[in-house]
Chains A and B, each alone.
Chain A
Amino acid sequence: MKKNIKFVQGNEACVEAALYAGLDFFAGYPITPSTEIAEHLAYRLPRVGGKFIQMEDEIASMCAIIGASLTGNKVMTATSGPGFSLMQEALGYAIMTEIPCVIVNVQRGGPSTGLPTHMSQGDVNQVRWGTHGDHAIIALSASNHQDVFAMTVDAFNLAETYRTPVVLLFDEVIGHMRERLFMPEKGEIPLVKRLRTSVKEGVDYHPYLPREDGRLPMSDFGGVHRYNVTGLFHDMWGFPSDNQKVVHELLRHLVDKINNNVDQITKFKEFYLESAETILISYGSSARSSLHVVENLRSRGEQIGLLELQTLWPFPSHIIKEKCAKAKYVIVVEMNMGQIHQSVRGAVDRPERVFLANRIDGVFITPMDIRNVMRLIQGKGV
Chain B
Amino acid sequence: MERYRMVFSGSGGQGVITAAIILAEAAVLYENLMAVQSQSYGPEARGGATRSDVVISDTEVHYPKVIQPNLLVCLTQEAYNQFYPIIRPGGLLITDTRFVKTQKKVDALQKELPMYETTMEKIGKSIVFNICMLGAVIGLTDLVRSNSVIKVLQNRIPSGFLDINREALNLGIELGAKVKS
Contact = CB atoms under 8 A, between A and B. Distances in A.
Interface of A: 1, 5, 7, 32-33, 116-118, 172-173, 176-180, 288-289, 291-292, 295, 364, 366-368
Contact of B28 (A5, A117, A176, A367): A5
23 contacts: A1-B30, A5-B28, A7-B21, A7-B25, A7-B35, A117-B41, A117-B45, A118-B42, A176-B41, A177-B36, A177-B37, A177-B64, A178-B37, A178-B38, A179-B28, A179-B35, A179-B36, A180-B28, A291-B62, A295-B62, A366-B63, A366-B65, A368-B67
B64 A179 contact: yes
A178 B24 contact: yes
A33 B40 CA distance: 12
Interface in B1-40: 21, 24-25, 28-30, 34-39
A288 B62 contact: yes
Contacts of B30: 1
B34 A180 contact: yes
A44 to B, nearest CB: 17
B64 A7 contact: no
Given A7-B28, A289-B63, A178 B21 contact: yes
Contacts of A173: 38, 64
A118 to B, nearest CB: 7
**B interface SS class:** mixed
Interface in B167-181: none
Contacts of B38: 173, 176-178
Given A117-B41, A117-B42, A173-B38, A179 B61 contact: yes
Nearest to B55: A179
A124 B62 CA distance: 22
B151 interface: yes
Contacts of B21: 7, 178
A292 B63 CA distance: 6
Nearest to B21: A178
A5 to B, nearest CB: 6
A367 B37 contact: no
Which of B28, B35, B42, B63 has the largest number of chain A CB atoms within 10 A? B63
- The number of chain B residues touching the other chain, given as a range, is 20 to 34
Contacts of A364: 65
A7 B63 contact: no
A7 B42 contact: no
Contact of A176 (B34, B39, B62): B39
A292 B62 contact: yes
Nearest to B37: A178
Given A7-B29, A178-B24, A367 B151 contact: no
B63 A116 contact: no
Interface string B130-166: 0000000000000000000001000000000000000
Interface string B53-81: 00000000111110100000000000000
B37 to A, nearest CB: 4
A117 to B, nearest CB: 4
Contacts of A177: 36-38, 64
Contacts of B34: 179-180
A291 B30 CA distance: 27
A272 to B, nearest CB: 13
A91 B76 CA distance: 48
Contacts of A32: 41
Given A288-B62, A289-B63, 12 more contacts: A5-B29, A33-B41, A117-B45, A118-B41, A118-B42, A177-B37, A178-B21, A179-B37, A179-B61, A292-B63, A366-B65, A367-B63
Given A1-B151, A33-B41, A366 B67 contact: yes
B64 to A, nearest CB: 5
Nearest to A177: B38
Contacts of A178: 21, 24-25, 36-38
Which of A1, A32, A172 has the largest number of chain B CB atoms within 10 A? A1
Contacts of B25: 7, 178
Contacts of A33: 41
Nearest to B38: A177
A178 B18 CA distance: 12
Contacts of B36: 177-179
